[in-house]
Amino acid sequence: MTDQLHDTTFRGFASDNYSGVHPEVLDAIAQANGGHQVAYGEDQYTERLQHVFAGHFGEDAQAFPVFNGTGANVTGLQSMLPRWGAVVAATTAHINTDEGGAPERVAGIKILGVPTPNGKLTPELIDREAWGWGDEHRAQPLVVSITQTTELGTRYSIEEIRAIADHAHSLGMRVHLDGARLSNAAAALDAPLRAFTTDAGVDVVSVGGTKNGALGAEAIVVLNPAASEGLTFLRKLNMQLASKMRFVSAQLIALYEGDLWLRSASHANAMAKRLRDGLEAGIAAGGLPGLSFTQPTESNGVFAALPAGVADRLRDRGFRFYDWDAARGEVRWMCSFDTSEDDIDAFVAGIGEELERA
């Protein structure tokens, strides 16, 4: 193919999944090519990845590369639960709202959703659904699943995760962490990955790569071997076992062996902060009528509310982003590893112009 099918200069704010592949990841895929390697994870790259993740999460960590985040969450949770088990999660959790019912339909897991104001669970909120053990009429709540950073762009502190893990373990429950944006959380917390996972008491974590510059690479990482079983079989059963796994593992090595994961996530976070700061400066100067923020900006996403019609006019001008809650005029603006300062400044200017029109 000789024709470019899209404008390679265009970047929007709809999702960090919209971004391309980081050049260093592409180079890693190319370097992994050539010759033969044993299939289904018995290759040198997947072996190397075990050491890379052990360096981040501890020597007991066991990594299972998979294709996507839904596969990581569904398969990881399935390994943590018996057939009668249930998962306590925020109602906004990806496993509850954005995975097409896969946890329930594929894994047979009941999700017990808890409403939260900011996408974050607390021990007290967990207790709203953590009850009924031994009652044969109730799916047994045996896992707590949290997202870091959350679907609302907020982040847990190390202490908050530790409190959740301590509380869950005291109830005989296990803790799963959906880390699709784990790198953004670490960058925002200025903490190593293990500080808010292994050391905080998390049992199993889904480690993200795709939202941070990978082509399609995630991993289930078991931090507590006693909390998970059967992943060798479940990964195949759930169609997440890559035959040419070296290319999945090579992407994760490129991200996590050095500091690419942190550089990319830090940049995305910084661009979100630049967007928020630019808009707040406009508000402070007496402009941007009708704009308000609905969540704190703690990672690479900005959540805001706009007057009626403004979001559509911005999209008509070529700015791409999603409505989060159209009934409230709430929108989500996501930044990526390749978002530029010029992208942000042009967007801030466009928002200002459309709000003045409104």
- DSSP label at 69? H
The three-class DSSP label of residue 327 is helix
Q: What is the pLDDT of residues 84-130, one digit of tens each?
A: 999 999 999 999 999 999 999 999 999 999 999 999 999 999 999 99
Q: Tell whether the model's pLDDT for residue 1 goes beyond 60.
A: no
Q: What's the pLDDT at 358?
A: 79
Query: Are 262 and 212 spatial neighbours (Cβ–Cβ below 8 Å)?
Result: no
The per-residue pLDDT for range 308-346, each reduced to its tens digit, is: 999 999 999 999 999 999 999 999 999 999 999 999 999
Mean pLDDT of the chain: 97
Per-residue exposure over 77-104, b if at least 16 CB sit within 10 Å of its own CB, e if not: bbbbbeeebbbbbbebbbbbeebeebbb
> Is 180 in a helix, a strand, or coil?
coil
Residue 113's DSSP bridge partners are: 89
Name the architecture of domain 23-258: 3-Layer(aba) Sandwich (3.40)
Residues 150-171, mean pLDDT to the nearest whole number? 98
Residue 210: the pLDDT is: 98
- Quote the pTM value: 0.96
Listed in order, the ranges of the chain carrying CATH 3.40.640.10 are: 23-258
> What stretch(es) of the chain map to CATH 3.90.1150.10?
261-357
Q: What residue type is assigned to position 193 of the chain?
A: L
**What does the DSSP 8-state code read for residue 17?**
T
One DSSP character per residue, 195-207 reads: GGTTTTT--EEEE
Task: Give CA–CA dist 324/304, Å, rounded.
Answer: 9
Separation of CA 115 from chain center: 19
- Give how far Cα 140 sits from Cα of 3, 97, 112, 183, 229, Å: 55, 21, 10, 32, 18
| 154 CB-near residues (< 8 Å, 6+ apart) | 118, 119, 120, 295, 296, 298, 299
Structure confidence by residue, pLDDT tens digits, 212-271: 999 999 999 999 999 999 999 999 999 999 999 999 999 999 999 999 999 999 999 999
Q: Which residue has the tokens 């925020």?
A: 90
Q: Is domain 261-357 classified as CATH 3.90.960.10?
A: no
Q: How far, CA to CA in Å, does 154 sit from each of 30, 127, 184, 333?
A: 36, 21, 11, 13
pLDDT at 2 over 80: no
pLDDT of res. 3: 82
User: For 53-93, what is each residue's pLDDT tens digit?
Assistant: 999 999 999 999 999 999 999 999 999 999 999 999 999 99
Is residue 23 within 8 A of residue 337, CB to CB? The reply is no
